[in-house]
Chains A and B, each alone.
Chain A
Amino acid sequence: MSDHPSTYQPGTAIERWLDPRLPIIRFGADLMSFPTPRNLNYWYTFGGILAFCLGVQIVTGIVLAMHYDPSGTGAFLSVQRGIMRDINYGWLIRSLHANGASMFFVAVYLHILRGLYYGSYKAPREVLWLLGCVIYLLMMATAFMGYVLPWGQMSFWGAKVITSLFGAFPLIGKPLTALLWGGYSVDDPTLNRFFSLHYLLPFVIAAVVGLHIWALHVPGNANPTGVEVKSKADTLPFHPYYTVKDLFAVSVFMILFAVFVFYMPEALGKVDNQVMADPLKTPAHIVPEWYLLPFYAILRAIPDKLTGVLALAGAIGMLFILPWLDTSKVRSMRYRPTYRLFFVIWIVACAALGWCGSQEPDGQIINGLAGPVLIDYDINSVTWLSRIAAMYYFAYFLVITPILGLTETPLPVPDSLYTPVLSHPAGVPAGAAAAPETKG
C-alpha cells in the first residue's frame, strides 16, 4: 500500500490502546479506504465473487467432513445414505459444495478472461498475476481430489486416469504414481490421502489469496483503460463504492448458484457417479468435470502419452509466462482491436476444446462424412478438431501475442482513466484527442 497514507484515527479508548500494539483495526480501515480507480466495471466484481465462493466451499466442506467416512466401503454410503438422506439439510450442504465447485470455476474463468482482456498481467502486476495462476492450479488440484471423495464410478475411474498420467514420466513415473496411490492401484490409501489433501489445500488457497490481495494493494487495481491512476481524482475509496457494487454482483451470482442448487443439482454431474466405485467395471466413457475438459482434450489430441502430459502442463504454463510474452506497450484490449479479434477466436478455441473433451475421440464432427486418416485419426473427427484448436491455443500465446505487440497499430489511449466531461457518452473513448500511439 505504497502511496496510500493511512487516514485512520483511533476513536475510542480501546482503539487508542490497541493501535500502537497491534494496528489491526488500522489495517482493516486502510483496506476499506484504499483508493480504487473509479472506472472499474462489472468484470472487476469477480474477485469479490471468488472470495465468496472460497468461503462457501470452506464452510460447507467443514460440515461435510464431519459426516464423511474416507474408506472404500464407507465413502459412498456416508455420502449417499448419510449426507444425502439422513443428516438434516445434508442434501443442501452437499449440493452447495458440489455445485459451488462449478460456480467457483465459472467465476475464476471469467476473472482470468477479464485479466487477459484488460492486460492486468502486465508490469507492475506480474507477481499478482503469477499468484493468481498458482491459485488456479491449486483450485484444479483441490477440485479433482474432491471429485474422488464420493467414491462413485466416475470418481474412481477419473482418479485412475489422471493419476496414471504421472506414470508417463521416465524414471520417476512409477514411484510417483505409487506415492500418489499409496500402493499399486487406486484404493483405500488413495482415498485417504486425497481426503487429507482436499481438506488441506483450501487453506493453502486462502493463504495464497492473502498474498494475491497483498500484491494487488501494492500497485493498486488496474482498470479497463489500462491507464495508471495519476491523481486522487481518478480514484474512489473502496468502501462504500466498491463494497456495494461487489455485494450486488455477489447477490446476482447467488441467483445463478441457487438455480443449480435447488432446481438442477445434478445437471453438472455424471450419472455414472451415482453408482458405487467398482474397480472391475470400467465405465464406457470416462470424462472429467467440465472445468477440466479443455485440458483433457489437449492431452488426448497428442498420440504420445508423455508429450500429451507435457502439452497439458504447457497449456497451463502459458498463463504463467504470459506477462513476458506480451510485447505491447498498450495494456487494455480496448485499444487493441486486432489483438481483440485474435482473443475472441482464442475463447472460441477454448470452448471447442471443452466440447471435444466431452466427446469420444473418434466421434465425427460432420455426421456420415469420412475423410482421410492422418496421425491415427480421421480428419473429420473430434481428435482433429482438438488438434487444430490446441495449435491455435498455443500459437495465440507463443506467436500471435509477441509478434502482434510489435506490429499492430493501437487506437489512441486516453491520457487519464477518467475524464469527467467525456466519460458518460458510451462508445466514445475518453480523451480521444490524445496523441495516438503509433507502434506497440
Chain B
Amino acid sequence: MLRKLFAAASIAGVVAMAVPALAASTQAPLKDDVHWSFESPLGMYDQVQLQRGFKVYKEVCAACHSLNLVAFRNLGDPGGPFWNAKYPNPNENPVIKAIAKDYQVADVDTDSGDAIKRPATSADYFTPPFANIYAARAANGGAAPPDMSLLAAAREGGARYIYSLVTGDGTEAPAGLTIPAGKYYDPWLSGDVSSYYKGDPHKTPVGSFIAMPPPLVDDRVSFDDGTKATVKQEAADVSAFLQWASDPKMEERKQMGVSVMIFLVLFSGILYASYRQIWRNVGH
C-alpha cells in the first residue's frame, strides 16, 4: 500500500512541478466563441483562413507591425497560406512572386555602390514598416509595436489572446479605472493596473494597458473568397494567420508525431514481449 503511495506521490510530485502551475489570475478569461482548426492534437491550419488572415495582416497590421522572421517564400511552404503542391519550391510559386513584387527592399547597386531600393523577390524577408525602433517609437507615442512573427507564441493563449484583443469588445474601462492618455485597456494581457484604480481594493481589475487602439472595423478588408468581413471574421482570420507565423512547422510536426507514436508503441510492445520471453523462467 505505502509502496504504491510512494510511487504515486513521487510521480505526482515530479509531474506537478513539471506542469506550469496556473499563474495567479492577472488576466481576464479569453473569448471562447471561435473554433480553431489547429487546436486539437491532429488539427491542421485552414489554408483559406490563412489566406484571409494574411490579407488582414497586409492591409491592417503591417502598417505598424513588422514580420521580421518570415520570408515571402515561407507563405508557400507546406502548411502555409499559399502552399501549392505544383510548386514544391515556393520561390517559383507565382502567387508568392506577385506578393513579393509589391514590397521594396533595401539593397546596394553593385555597379555604383549606391544604396538602392528594389522590388523584393520570394527569397526576401518581409520589410518592416519603420526604419528602426526609434522611428517605430516616435510614430506610435513612445511604444514600438511588437514584431508579429512570434506574437502568438509570446502571449498566454496564443491565437485566442490576439482574437480576444482585436475584436475590441471587452476593452472598455471598468468603473474606477483611469486609463492614461494614449493608452487602451487590455484585460487579457497579464499585468498590474492597480495604481490607476480607485475603488474596492478586492475588486482591482486584471490586465494591462497597451498603446494600440482597437484596430478592426467591419469591412476593413474585402475577402477574395466572398466571406463577409465582419470584425469577428477579420479577427479570427488574422489570429489564425499569426498562429501560423509563430508555428509554421506545426503541420509537419504533428504529422511526423503520428508516425513516431505508432512506431514507439509497436516498438515498446515488441520490447515488452522480448522482456517477458527472456524472463519467463527466471524468478525475481
Contact = CB atoms under 8 A, between A and B. Distances in A.
Contact of B284 (A38, A294, A344): A38
Contact of B271 (A248, A290, A368): A248
Contacts of B14: 106, 109-110, 113, 351
B16 A355 contact: yes
Contact of B253 (A117, A265, A268, A423): A265
A284 interface: yes
Tell which of A38, A266, A271, A341 has the most Cβ of chain B within 10 Å: A271
B271 A347 contact: no
A24 to B, nearest CB: 26
Nearest to B26: A284
Contacts of B19: 267, 290
Nearest to B1: A427
Interface stretch (A12-20, A128-136, A251-259): A251-259
A92 interface: yes
B198 interface: no
Nearest to B202: A368
Interface in A329-363: 333-334, 337, 340-341, 343-344, 347-348, 350-351, 354-355, 358-360, 363
A349 to B, nearest CB: 9
Nearest to B12: A351
Given A80-B149, A102-B18, A255-B268, A271 B156 contact: yes
Interface stretch (B54-62, B169-177, B272-280): B272-280
Given A258-B260, A355-B16, A368-B202, A85 B283 contact: no
Interface string A283-318: 011000011011000000000000000000000000
Interface string A258-291: 1101110111101110110000000011000011
Contact of B257 (A81, A258, A268): A258
A354 B17 contact: yes
A267 B20 contact: yes
A268 B21 CA distance: 10
Contact of A351 (B16, B149, B202): B16
A333 B7 CA distance: 13
Given A248-B272, A262-B257, A355 B21 contact: yes
Contacts of A354: 13, 16-17
Contact of A360 (B2, B24, B246, B254): B24
Contact of A81 (B69, B146, B190, B246): B69
A224 to B, nearest CB: 9
Specify the main secondary structure of chain B where it touches its partner.
Answer: helix
A264 to B, nearest CB: 9
A32 interface: no
Interface in B21-70: 21, 23-24, 41, 68-70
A117 B249 contact: no
A247 B18 CA distance: 24
A236 B146 CA distance: 62
Contacts of B10: 110, 113, 347
A406 to B, nearest CB: 22
Which bucket holds chain A's interface residue count? 35 or more
Given A240-B278, A248-B268, A351-B12, A334 B3 contact: yes
A398 interface: no
Nearest to A344: B9
Interface in A75-125: 77, 80-81, 84-85, 91-92, 95, 102, 106, 109-110, 113, 117
Interface in B142-174: 146, 149-150, 153-156
Contacts of B267: 251
A244 B283 contact: no
Given A258-B257, A271-B156, A358-B23, A80 B268 contact: no
A184 interface: no
B192 interface: yes
B121 interface: no
B5 interface: yes
A117 B248 CA distance: 45
Contact of B275 (A113, A245, A360, A424): A245
A39 interface: yes
Contacts of A117: 6
Interface string B203-223: 000000000000000000000
A241 interface: yes
A274 B20 contact: no
Contacts of A355: 16-17, 21
Interface in A224-253: 236, 240-241, 244-245, 247-248, 251-252
B115 interface: no
B13 A258 contact: no
A337 B284 CA distance: 23
A337 B2 CA distance: 8
27 contacts: A38-B282, A38-B284, A80-B69, A80-B150, A81-B69, A91-B253, A236-B284, A240-B278, A241-B282, A248-B272, A251-B264, A254-B264, A258-B257, A262-B257, A263-B257, A265-B253, A271-B155, A274-B246, A290-B19, A334-B3, A344-B6, A347-B6, A354-B17, A360-B24, A418-B284, A420-B283, A423-B283
Given A251-B271, A262-B253, 14 more contacts: A77-B69, A236-B282, A251-B267, A255-B268, A258-B257, A263-B257, A268-B20, A274-B150, A290-B20, A294-B17, A344-B2, A351-B17, A359-B23, A418-B284
Interface of B: 2-3, 5-6, 9-14, 16-21, 23-24, 41, 68-70, 74, 146, 149-150, 153-156, 190-192, 202, 246, 248-249, 252-254, 256-257, 260-261, 264-265, 267-268, 271-272, 274-275, 278-279, 282-284
Interface of A: 38-40, 77, 80-81, 84-85, 91-92, 95, 102, 106, 109-110, 113, 117, 236, 240-241, 244-245, 247-248, 251-252, 254-255, 258-259, 261-263, 265-268, 270-272, 274-275, 284-285, 290-291, 293-294, 333-334, 337, 340-341, 343-344, 347-348, 350-351, 354-355, 358-360, 363, 368, 418, 420, 423-424
Closest 5 CB pairs of A and B: A262-B257, A354-B17, A274-B154, A351-B13, A248-B271
